[in-house]
Amino acid sequence: MLAYLVKRVFQAIAVMFAISLISFAIQDNLGDPLRELVGQSVSEEVRQQLRDELGLNDSFLQQYLRFVGNALQGDLGTSYFFKEPALDVILKKLPATLELVFAATLIIIGLSVPLGVYTAIKPNNILSRTIMGLSIVGISIPVFLTAILMIFIFAVGLRWLPSYGRGEIVPVWGSWETNFATVDGWLHILLPAVALASIMLPLFVRLIRAEMMEVLQSEYVKYARAKGISPRRIYFVHALKNTLLPVITVGGVQIGTMVAYTILTETVFQWPGMGFMFLEAVNRVDTPLIVAYLIVVGFIFVVTNTIVDLIYGLVNPTVNIARMGA
């Protein structure tokens, strides 16, 4: 287990290194920090002097090391637009995005497992066929269209639910304000969360169904039947545990995709999260903020992938020995 852990952490560091290189390259080439600082009106001599002072004339390596050093201390530069440390700006927006992802994940897990298992156990009944039919329609509708459609129906048409913003939020800890404390908050997060879940849910239903059907064909399931084990135990203990192993792996990758989709959902619902902020930063060429977003998102990716791998290692009894031997 320890060797496995060390290997994982090592991989995570390697990926963060790559992300830091890319981020630095962007920072180095995108926008002109001098212009943001002093504007256009300063003479060339003063500019040169400022460049020296800011270390912009240092070697690439020196500049990169300084960048990493600062980043490790939590200094990712100052946002041109907000005139605040970029990391602070991001961290203030982070809870909104995380809550959205969390709500969507709950919807996905809560629905995909029962639906996937049901359609695998009863592949030919009408309900299963309907679920599978709907799932392929679900996969074919882009997230932003689902979001627009829901706004059109529930906000513009029926006027049941709000179409933008977070509504009434309650501070929890530090800059963390939550949607889950008030009814208004719940109403506001409902549509964005459903929209965000809309493309992953059918994907997971189909994945769970496919894996489950394969597992149900396996020898050990047939053997369990030959032992006289009850169908319920066969489905939910023998089959489901084996089904979830590959699903966990895919799930880890999909978390990254979810973060990407938050950009789309947040844009449509004007949800004040990091994704929405990122697009604004791009339009304003707010380089430090863009870089900070990149690093924070990269960090989220790496952490979730590592956690998912560790969970996989815990659930799958064959993994420890195999990795430790290698």
Partner 1 sequence: MTDINATREPGRLGRVWNSNFVYSFRKNPVAVVSMAIFLLIAAAALLAPWLAPVDPYDPSLFDIMDSELPPVWSDSGDSRFLFGTDDQGRDLWSAILYGTRLSLIIGLCAVALQALLGISIGLIAGYVGGRTDSLLMRLADIQLSFSTLMVAIIFLAVTQAMFGSETFNQYAVFMLIAVIGVAEWPQYARTVRATVLAEKKKEYVDSARVLGFGPLRIMVRHILPNSLSPIFVISTVQVANAIISEASLSFLGLGMPPSQPSLGSLISSGFDYIFSGSWWITAIPGVVLVVLVLVINLLGDWMRDVLNPKLYKG
Partner 2 sequence: MSLLSVRDLTVKFAMRDQTVTALNQISFDVGRGERIGIVGESGAGKSITGFSLLNLISKPGFIAGGEILFDGQDIAKMKEAELRKIRGNRMAMIFQDPMVTLNPVLTIGQQMVETLMAHRKLSRAEAEQIAVLKLREVYIPSPEERLHQYPHELSGGMRQRIIIAIALLLDPQLIIADEPTTALDVTIQADIMELLLELCQSNKVGLILITHDLGVVSQMTERTLVMYAGRIIENGPTREIINDPQHPYTQGLINALPQQTLPGHKLKQIPGNMPALTDIPPGCPFSPRCSYATDRCRSERPRISRYGTVEVACHEVERLLKDEKKEMTA
Which does residue 140 touch among partner 1, partner 2, none (CB within 5 to 8 A, set by kind)?
partner 1
- Give the separation between CA 280 and CA 79, rounded to whole angstroms: 12
* DSSP one-letter code for 285: T
Closest distance to partner 2 from the beta carbon of 242 (Å): 6
Q: Does residue 31 sit in helix, strand or coil? A: coil
Applying CB under 8 A, the residues found at the interface with partner 1 are 15, 26, 29-31, 136-137, 139-145, 148-149, 151-152, 156, 246, 249-250, 252-254, 256-257, 259-261, 263-264, 267-268, 278-279, 282, 285, 287, 290, 294, 297, 301, 305
Nearer to partner 2, 159 or 227 (CB): 227
314 Cβ contact list (under 8 Å, min separation 6): none
- Give the separation between CA 326 and CA 310, rounded to whole angstroms: 17
Interface with partner 2 in residues 184-223 (CB under 8 A): 217-220, 222-223
Q: Which amino acid is at 127?
A: L
Nearer to partner 1, 67 or 224 (CB): 67
- Give the separation between CA 233 and CA 240, rounded to whole angstroms: 10
- Give the separation between CA 213 and CA 151, rounded to whole angstroms: 36
Return the range that interacts with partner 2 (CB under 8 A); candidates 53-61, 173-181, 200-208, 235-243: 235-243
Which does residue 318 touch among partner 2, partner 1, none (CB within 5 to 8 A, set by kind)?
partner 2
> Could you say which of 225, 250, 279, 285 contacts partner 2 (CB under 8 A)?
225
- Report phi then psi at 289, rounded to 5: -70, -40
> Could you say which of 242, 254, 262, 305 contacts partner 2 (CB under 8 A)?
242
Number of residues that bind partner 2 (CB under 8 A): 25
- Give the separation between CA 183 and CA 146, rounded to whole angstroms: 23
